[in-house]
Amino acid sequence: MRFYNTLTRRLEEFRPIAEGRVGLYTCGPTVYDFPHIGNYRSYLFEDLVKRFLAFLGLRVTHVMNITDIDDKTIRKASELQVPLAEVTRKYIDAFHADLRALNALPADHYPRATEHIAEMQALIARLLEQGFAYEKDGSVYFRIERFPEYGRLANLDKGSLKIGAAVDADEYEKEAVQDFVLWKGKKPGEPSWPAPFGEGRPGWHIECSAMSMKYLGPHFDIHMGGVDNIFPHHENEIAQSQCANGVTFVNYWLHCQHLIVDGQKMSKSLGNFYTLGDLLSKGYAPMAVRYLLISSHYRKLLNFTLEGLEMAGQALARVKNFAFSLRNVEGEGDADPELAAALDKALAAFRDQLADDFNVSGALGAMFDLIAEVNPRLSALTRADAAAALAWLERINSVLGVLEPDERTALDAEIEARIALREKARREKDYARADEIRAELRRQGIALIDTPSGVKWKRE
């Protein structure tokens, strides 16, 4: 499979570092407000990539951080006059509920910045020791002059850049390339932690370097985010990580283009956004939202309209109707080898399209061609044929994730992945999370049976 690597600006064949395994880090939400569906375009593209890697037989370890301390979260807490943790808890819960509604597979780890302060401090200490960072007025900054590769990801023209004085803000534009902050000296009213280089709190960029390294090691396969993360966030992550570890940080960088509204990025600051809740309360189905957000190519802008959402719902209805009809087939007799061959061919086409830089419209085309071919012959199918076609659809849906689990199309692998997460929660004595997973599965018609030889499951 090949896809576009932002770092090299070329389509590249994907080769994992360790055979059969993939380390994947995706930048998660900054939990200062409800995410909007623009954010979910990025998160759902990441989910599609992860599902497709699993479809190809790769074992993916997915880490998605939660930024629960930065300029924006602190500003919100101070506006509301409530503790930071209270603000972030509310939006973390909302984020997970949205991800479940949108049928995104859970990550293996959701590390929170405030729970990894020690790792960030250790990383900053290493950068200071080696002269890649310096202290100034109680804060610590990264010295970008010491990293000649700085600007490679964002393709900055170093010649024409004037490097400015050190910058304290987490977010800034390319025109303002500056030594960026790793640790911000304590300010009144802000949360802070004691540190060898002075009491304070982390900058945003160091969070992702420290947490990705902790869970995936200093060198891993794929790092993803929206295109607005390329600069400065990901550029800074590379600088920090490579200088501290002396090895390549990430082999492949994959960035998702924006969801736009009337030509402008959907964003909180422009006020042109919908949350998932807004759309659900207008009567749209979460799976239609998912379908719309994943169905165009990730490197193209996607213009959001309610009309587009209706069309996504209609396209999805064709798939659901097909599944429904298959479930009602009653014909007796053997399976038709020609149908089996057509299913295999369509699945191969679906895979090949996605393997070519995630050409999702091509993949959907392969699916709809098969549906159009079989639909007129439904009355002639046998139950064996219908079972084969449903199994085909489950394979496809293991990647697209647009058919609701309660339609009994959930793939065994998905169920088993959730059971493994429940087992992990139990081992970690997080019984609330374990019960939550069990309840989720029950809602999907999956019953868990604890036996002496481990957990078994059945469809009820």
86 burial (CB, 10 Å; 0-12 / 13-18 / 19+) is exposed
Q: From Zn ion, ligand AMP, none, which one binds at residue 242 (CB under 5 to 8 Å depending on kind)?
A: none
Residue number with the smallest Cβ distance to ligand AMP: 226
Interface stretch with Zn ion, choices 23-31, 118-126, 265-273, 410-418 (CB under 5 A): 23-31
State which of positions 241-280 bind ligand AMP (CB under 6 A): 256, 258-259, 265-267
Per-position x/- string for 201-240, each x denoting binding to ligand AMP as judged by CB under 6 A, each - no binding: ------------------------xx-xx-----------
Token pair of 97, please?
A: 């509920």
Q: From Zn ion, ligand AMP, none, which one binds at residue 267 (CB under 5 to 8 Å depending on kind)?
A: ligand AMP
**Least distance to ligand AMP from the beta carbon of 297, Å?**
13
193 vs 99: CA distance, rounded Å? 31
User: Residue 26 or 397: which CB sits closer to Zn ion?
Assistant: 26
Does 41 interact with ligand AMP (rule: CB under 6 A)?
Answer: yes
80 Cβ contact list (under 8 Å, min separation 6): 87
Strand 139-142, strand 178-185: pairing: antiparallel
User: Residue 27 or 419: which CB sits closer to Zn ion?
Assistant: 27
Does 27 interact with Zn ion (rule: CB under 5 A)?
Answer: yes
Token pair of 373, please?
A: 């071919």
Give the three-state DSSP class for 251.
strand
Cα–chain center distance at 374: 34
Q: From Zn ion, ligand AMP, none, which one binds at residue 226 (CB under 5 to 8 Å depending on kind)?
A: ligand AMP
| Total interface residues for ligand AMP by CB under 6 A | 17
400 vs 389: CA distance, rounded Å? 16
CB-CB contact of 242 with 248 (8 Å): yes
- Residue type for position 127: L
Work out which of 37, 84, 133, 208 binds Zn ion, going by CB under 5 A.
208
**Least distance to ligand AMP from the beta carbon of 225, Å?**
4
91 burial (CB, 10 Å; 0-12 / 13-18 / 19+) is buried
Does 30 interact with ligand AMP (rule: CB under 6 A)?
Answer: yes
User: Residue 33 or 430: which CB sits closer to Zn ion?
Assistant: 33
**Least distance to ligand AMP from the beta carbon of 326, Å?**
35
Which CA distances in Å does 147 have to 132, 142, 151, 233, 348? Answer: 8, 10, 9, 15, 44
44 vs 444: CA distance, rounded Å? 21
Q: From ligand AMP, Zn ion, none, which one binds at residue 23 (CB under 5 to 8 Å depending on kind)?
A: none
Contact residues: ligand AMP, CB under 6 A? 27, 29-30, 38-39, 41-42, 225-226, 228-229, 256, 258-259, 265-267
